[in-house]
Structure 1
């Protein structure tokens, strides 16, 4: 019994001295470079019903770094004049930004929307990345007590 206790304590001591795992720059998690970002408005949904929206193609310049294979951060700069932080957790990248004057109202005012791009490696082919472009307006905007939510399929493809 004492021998097991000593072995357990020694094992914990050795494991606590091991350095934490770091991401391999070539492990395929970090995204760096130029990408084509495509939001497919043909398949857009509003209130869980198909509702065609304008498709949007952008060029993104992405820089990111990883501290582990599960924990990465970065920055997106779009050719449409905006930039936003990005984060990688549990196999999924997320980019969030505010879109000013996104939800127009009948009285001429407009409310912002919170746009989130969520994407991951495609299946069965890892490229392009696949996911969703979702924009959510605030509940109560334009006097309607229901948030406007538009969701479109999204792909991210490396350029070159």
Structure 2
């Protein structure tokens, strides 16, 4: 019987493992894809941390994502409000950011833009963390205007509860 030294066996196995290509294929179960109803609840809106009644907004989003790992996804959102924006996921939380033109009306008739950021994750109706493949995601819709807009050195921001529910 031929005896192979342990270091030779270890080296051969290590080289075989290191030379094996790792497949990083897109897994649709990790992302969110399809048509969703997006709702920002203006009844609970806050403007600069003070409750400030706003109109609730409901729109339809078409979401397309690709994921390299669970929790690491990118893609695109198309809203029926006429905007498109990138979507990405980090550590189980989804983010969508886009510029809202003419968001802050100024006393002199000009306007300033706002940055709208949606942050959400899968949740149960009771508020507990849900399975990542859940069709209901909740979080917040925050729109922020730049400090200095309209000659005021204070940023304006409005925060509303947000819910995204898959419809197709």
TM-score by length of 2: 0.82
User: C-alpha displacement at 1:24, in angstroms?
Assistant: 3.1
Distance in 1 separating the partners of 2:43 and 2:91 = 29
Equivalence for 2:75: 74
1:6-155 to structure 2, matched below 5 A, reads 13=15, 16-17=18-19, 19=22, 22=25, 24-25=27-28, 27=29, 29-123=30-124, 124=128, 125=130, 126-155=134-163
- The answer to whether residue 159 in structure 2 is matched with residue 159 in structure 1 is no
Residue ranges of structure 2 left out of the alignment (5+ in a row): none
Is the contact made by 1:46 and 1:150 (CA closer than 8 Å) also made in structure 2? yes
TM-score, with length taken from structure 1: 0.86
Secondary structure in structure 1 of the residue aligned to 2:150: helix
How many residues align? The count is 156
Aligned partners of 1:34, 1:67: CA distance in 2, in Å?
A: 22
Superposed CA RMSD: 2.2
- Looking at structure 2, the residues matched to 152 and 81 of structure 1 have their Cα atoms a distance apart, in angstroms, of 20
Report the structure number with the largest CA radius of gyration.
2
After superposition, give the CA deviation of every residue in 1:57-93 in whole Å (9 maximum; x if it has no partner).
Answer: 0001111111111221111111111111111111011
Instruction: Give yes or no for contact 1:22–1:69 (8 Å, CA) kept in 2.
Output: no
